[in-house]
């Protein structure tokens, strides 16, 4: 075959294979069997191998490219990607509709509803019909370049059926059946998000992702309605979810939402709500945008998903403060997209109130919280074989007496040297928001304790290479990594240090408040020196004056606390009586004083906190987070708030300024509604930082 014949044959094969792929992956039509498609593709591969000068990026053989060498490039979106306002009830949808009718003189709206696919939002750019870029949503203005993995999705055309220039957006998802074959991810959405961000496109190719399109951004010619948008996408070869529907009134929209709330589990992929859009593009333009979201669209979120399962057992977990928490061991069941085998029962009083017994059939719920909970017991299904649970009077770990302080719901182990308390305290001490020491997982800690190498957290900084290499879990590299991580962690800011101590009632937020109070106390100069073990190294790197200015060593902390009364602590804004008493009592115990002195002797060097430059709209405000955040995690959201002078609380009260509601919000959302606290969607929250 000469070059001219090869080129013609290659072009015909490409056209035919792309057409067959479109019919099979987009239209669900099978013109020929899979073996025929494979044979045509093999012929194309053979010809392109023989005549590589005719290979183009749009060839169906070029879906999988090379492994990326580093991080994902940031790319600006051609048009802003907005987050939608959320609706969590029928009443919320009606209120949105009423706002529409008040905002314009037109009250004759029609709508399009689309299933809200539980996946990852992406935007694709086609230049003259050829796929150029695929970008994550990111912050709405720029995202990450994931072209190399999106190309591997078989339903995504590398070349459109018309040579137009267009920007389109959609949702990447993983079908339930594909997710069941995969290990290492909590749910299909996480699997999809993790897959598109793989550096090696071959990983994505083997994980069977798919994509539904629903939006057109910049393009040569814009459709006049959202219904036409969906039809245009289909005509270009871009797959849409077939369940979208046109409605002539809001009543029909509400019925559509109700129907899919009941039958969402019947789909082969996960959905987490319904997107409702005004159909007319002219009306969309007239309605416009608020500073945070488009007025013409809203996302109805399904109620928290519940499931029925059986209580196989009730066990007790002992935490770092000695709290005994009952946990229901469940028959594994799927709730809100992930398999649940345990649920918290909170405390003894809660078990009595709900009358939860071993063997009971229960309804469980995962309403945006990390730990599922038992909602209610189906007592009418009891057989008589169920066993009431007796709360232990002795700690299940060390056998010490269990105490329940008057006025408290939590029972606690009375032994401060309990093995469980020590293990949990160590895990807290090395966690990300404390000393942040990698390499100290549960098995490693257990082995270090069993070998007698650590008796408290301070001993971590006295570990030696030879000791570690004598243990089963350690090879040379792992031992060196742990020792290096421990050495690196010796310098720590005051707030993180206070948080690492695991003092009851004191979290990240209160640690910052206490830290700012302490570092402003007057302390003698002789106490403002680096630990003796490291003093020489410190003063050789910096001048004495500079080191003293940046440090607030452990002896300075102890001195400041010794001279602070309980009344003074109670008067600090943001602490309260309970926190102040807990802090005061902790520093008053001899054993804790010895522990602090030991940390100082091991070389722990505490640094002053930097002053925060508050951001308007965030500084001084109190936020509560509920539900799952899509583009950023809870931890990142919390860091953003704190770094900009805001506060994060775990509960909603009249003092709460904002509640950030993510996917599947819990009872905090309802509480915010009751107290008329302003509720922000994830997009609303991100817009505060612009």
Closest CA to 148 of 193, 192, 204: 204
Looking at the annotation, which residues are catalytic?
116
Lookup: tokens for 642: 């704190």
Token pair 């020489």 is found at 536
As a whole number of Å, the CA-based R_g of the chain is 30
Q: Which residues are CB-neighbours of 221 under 8 A, at least 6 positions away?
A: 164
Contact status, residue 54 vs residue 134, Cβ threshold 8 Å = no
Cβ-in-10-Å burial (0-12, 13-18, 19+) of 23 comes to middle
Which residues are within 8 A (CB) of 374 and not within 5 positions of it... i.e. 6 or more apart?
Answer: 311, 328, 343, 344, 345, 354, 356, 362, 363, 364
Please name the residues in contact with 614: beta carbons below 8 A apart, sequence gap of 6 or more: 620, 644, 645, 646
Contact 217, 168 (CB under 8 A): yes
What is the C-alpha separation between 103 and 519, in angstroms, rounded? 52
Report d(CA 576, CA 581) in Å as an integer. Answer: 9
643 Ramachandran zone, left/alpha/beta (phi>0; psi -120 to 50): alpha
Residue 403 has which token pair?
């105490």
Cβ atoms 237, 26 nearer than 8 A: yes
Quote the CA–CA distance of 469 and 447 in Å, as a whole number: 12
Q: What is the dihedral of CA 123, 124, 125, 131, to 10 degrees?
A: 170
CA distance 411 to 404: 4
Q: Which residues contact 474 (CB under 8 A, 6 or more apart)?
A: 468, 482
Q: What does the alpha-carbon distance between residue 629 and residue 155 come to, in Å, rounded to a whole number?
A: 28
User: How far apart are the C-alpha atoms of 379 and 520, rounded to whole Å?
Assistant: 58
Contact present, 665 and 88 (Cβ < 8 Å): yes
38, with CB counted inside 10 A (0-12, 13-18, 19+), is exposed
Helices (H) and strands (E) in the chain, counts: 26, 26
Give me the helices (H) in 237-359, please: 250-263, 281-287, 348-354
Spatial CA neighbour of 6 closest among 39, 40, 41, 52: 52
Burial class of residue 188 in the structure, from the number of CB atoms within 10 Å of its CB (0-12 exposed, 13-18 middle, 19+ buried): buried
């Amino acid at each position: 075959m000469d070059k001219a014949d090869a080129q013609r044959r290659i072009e015909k094969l490409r056209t035919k294979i792309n057409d067959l792929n479109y019919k099979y992956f987009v239209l669900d039509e099978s013109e020929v069997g899979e073996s025929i498609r494979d044979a045509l593709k093999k012929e194309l591969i053979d010809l392109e191998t023989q005549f590589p000068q005719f290979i183009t990026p749009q060839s169906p053989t070029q879906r999988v490219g090379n492994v990326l060498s580093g991080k994902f490039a940031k790319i600006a979106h051609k048009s802003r990607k907005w987050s939608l306002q959320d609706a969590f009830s029928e009443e919320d949808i009606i209120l949105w509709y009423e706002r529409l009718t008040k905002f314009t003189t037109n009250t004759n709206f029609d709508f399009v509803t689309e299933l809200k696919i539980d996946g990852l939002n992406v935007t694709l750019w086609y230049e003259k019909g050829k796929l150029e870029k695929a970008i994550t949503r990111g912050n709405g203005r720029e995202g990450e370049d994931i072209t190399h993995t999106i190309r591997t999705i078989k339903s995504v055309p590398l070349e459109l059926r018309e040579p137009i220039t267009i920007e389109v957006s959609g949702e990447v998802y993983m079908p339930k059946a594909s997710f069941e074959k995969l290990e290492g991810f909590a749910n299909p959405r996480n699997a999809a998000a993790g897959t598109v961000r793989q550096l090696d496109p071959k990983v994505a190719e083997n994980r069977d992702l798919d994509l539904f399109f629903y939006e057109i951004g910049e393009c040569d010619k814009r459709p006049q309605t959202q219904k036409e948008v969906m039809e245009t996408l289909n005509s270009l070869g871009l797959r849409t979810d077939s369940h979208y529907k046109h409605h002539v009134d809001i009543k029909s929209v509400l019925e559509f939402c109700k129907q899919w709330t009941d039958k969402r589990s019947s789909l082969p992929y996960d959905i987490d709500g319904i997107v409702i859009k005004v159909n007319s593009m002219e009306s969309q333009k007239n309605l416009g945008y608020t500073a945070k979201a488009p007025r013409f669209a809203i996302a109805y979120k399904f109620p928290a998903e519940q499931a029925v399962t059986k209580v196989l057992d009730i066990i007790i977990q002992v935490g770092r403060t000695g709290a005994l928490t009952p946990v229901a061991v469940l028959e594994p069941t799927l709730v809100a997209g992930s398999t649940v085998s345990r649920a918290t029962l909170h405390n003894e009083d809660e078990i009595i109130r709900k009358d939860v017994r071993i063997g009971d059939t229960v309804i469980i719920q995962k309403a945006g919280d990390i730990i599922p909970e038992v909602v209610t017991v189906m007592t009418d299904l009891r057989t008589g074989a169920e066993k009431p649970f007796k709360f232990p009077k002795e700690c299940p770990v060390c056998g010490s007496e269990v105490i329940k302080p008057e006025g408290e719901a939590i029972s606690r182990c009375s032994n401060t040297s309990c093995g469980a308390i020590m293990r949990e305290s160590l895990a807290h001490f090395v966690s990300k928001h404390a000393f942040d020491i990698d390499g100290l997982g549960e098995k490693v800690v257990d082995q270090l304790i069993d070998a007698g190498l650590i008796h408290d957290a301070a001993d971590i900084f006295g570990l030696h290479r030879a000791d570690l290499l004598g243990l089963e879990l350690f090879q040379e590299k792992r031992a060196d990594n742990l020792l290096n991580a421990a050495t690196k962690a010796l310098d720590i800011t005051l707030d993180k240090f206070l948080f690492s101590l695991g003092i009851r009632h004191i979290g990240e937020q209160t640690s910052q408040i206490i830290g700012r109070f302490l570092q402003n106390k007057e302390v003698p100069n002789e106490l403002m020196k680096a630990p003796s073990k490291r003093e020489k190294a410190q003063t050789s790197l910096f001048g004495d004056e500079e080191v003293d200015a940046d440090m607030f060593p452990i002896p300075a902390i102890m001195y400041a606390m010794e001279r602070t009364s309980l009344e003074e602590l109670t008067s600090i804004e943001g602490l309260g009586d309970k926190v102040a008493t807990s802090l005061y009592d902790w520093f008053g115990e001899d054993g804790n004083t010895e522990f602090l002195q030991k940390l100082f002797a091991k070389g722990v060097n505490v640094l002053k906190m930097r002053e925060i430059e508050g951001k308007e709209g965030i500084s001084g405000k109190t936020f509560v987070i509920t539900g799952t955040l899509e583009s950023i995690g809870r931890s990142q959201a919390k860091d953003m708030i704190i770094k900009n002078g805001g506060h994060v609380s775990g509960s909603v009260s009249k003092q709460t300024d904002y509640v950030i509601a993510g996917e599947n919000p819990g009872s905090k959302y309802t509480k915010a509604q009751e107290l008329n606290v302003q509720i922000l969607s994830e997009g609303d929250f991100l817009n505060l930082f612009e």
